[in-house]
Structure 1
Amino acid sequence: MKYIKIGIIKNSHGLSGEVKVLPITEYPELFETLKILMLSKEGEIIKSLRVEEIRTHNEYYLIKLEDINDKETAKTLSGLEVMYPIHLLPKLNENEYYWFEIVGWEVYDTDGNFIGTLVDYEETGTAEAFRIKGEKTFYMISNNKDHVLKMDKTRKRLIINRDGLVSEDL
């Protein structure tokens, strides 16, 4: 079974063993469906714990886990990643993609020149920026309709407007 990361345990919360989880997904409602918390370290599942209760608190989720009944035990989970089974993700519209689907795609400009490979993205507040590994440097480009012109699922490539490309060497 394959998983994606949807959150990170930041710390314990209170005295009864709750953990404070920062969601890192555009679909935080996924947390409300969790019955089991799959936890990983560096992408490898290391633990699964049954969820007793989930509630929101500011931008975090507070999660009470079975058999975690004190602050000290909950604190040992800090830094672990919350994983979600890919096959349970909501279906997206035709022109929408999950990040794991496009990582590794090749990036070309409108003239057909190879720029590099899509390796990462960053949330920039209002939009996300794609990070591209070129032959000699890394580039960033904002993921918007003026810069990312086409996402070709069949050929696994992005066509971009070079005007939006910024070298990290600056």
Structure 2
Amino acid sequence: MADNAQETVVGRITSVFGVKGWVKVYSYTDPMEGILDYPHWHISQGGKKVDLEVVEGKRHGPGIVVRLKGVNDRDQARSYCGLDVMVPIESLPELPEGEYYWHQLEGLAVTTPEGDILGVVKHLMETGSNDVIVVRPTPKSIDNRERLIPYLPDQVIQSVDLAAGTIVADWDPEF
């Protein structure tokens, strides 16, 4: 996850690509090429923050391939595989009213319209048809169940209040 909520994860370096130090990257941005809009990346390697600079990148098949400054061979590139790519939150573009970045939703309390506390958003998942919030119980929750709730604004998700730290979801607590 991101460091002290001042950074957010935008992708993951998955494997090496070729012999000249390029890496394959799984992008969490939409569109996936959006990760290339951030030329300065941070990773955490062995507990240390490492700065990386993207020299060039492009779409390749179903993913993205990137050449990083100072990374010139396969062995060097391999040392970054499996690590999350983070960027400063302030470098993200402002979203239109009613749209949110995933990191903004993580940690928000989820309640029903009746005020029953279902838990807090642990993380989100992309399923293809819609995103899903993973809601973990808290000591104040109505029970100890983890819930997967479709993130469908104006259908299931009735409101998001970042200032209050809450999401109201029209969701049957028994489901």
Measured against the shorter chain, the TM-score band is 0.7 to 0.9
Give the letter aligned to residue 35 of structure 1: P
Distance in 2 between residues matched to 1:104 and 1:15, nearest whole Å: 41
- Kindly state the Cα deviation for residue 45 of structure 1 after the two structures are TM-superposed: 5.7
Gaps of 5+ in 1: none
- For residue 83 of structure 2, what is the aligned residue in structure 1? 80
Give the letter aligned to residue 143 of structure 1: Y
Please, which of 150, 157, 162 is the counterpart of residue 148 of structure 1?
157
- For residue 24 of structure 1, what is the aligned residue in structure 2? 28
Gaps of 5+ in 2: none
- Kindly state the Cα deviation for residue 27 of structure 1 after the two structures are TM-superposed: 4.8
4+ long deviations beyond 3 Å: 27-30
- For residue 113 of structure 1, what is the aligned residue in structure 2? 116
For normalisation by structure 2, the TM-score amounts to 0.84
Pick closer, same or farther for the CA change 1:118–1:37 going to 2, 3 Å: closer
For normalisation by structure 1, the TM-score amounts to 0.86
Distance in 2 between residues matched to 1:119 and 1:37, nearest whole Å: 24
- Kindly state the Cα deviation for residue 24 of structure 1 after the two structures are TM-superposed: 1.4
SS at match of 2:64: strand
Asked if 2 retains the 8 angstrom alpha-carbon contact of 1:53 and 1:63, the reply is yes
Identity of aligned residues (%): 25
Q: How many residues align?
A: 165
Give the letter aligned to residue 161 of structure 1: D
What do you get for the CA RMSD once the two structures are aligned? Answer: 2.1
SS at match of 2:103: helix
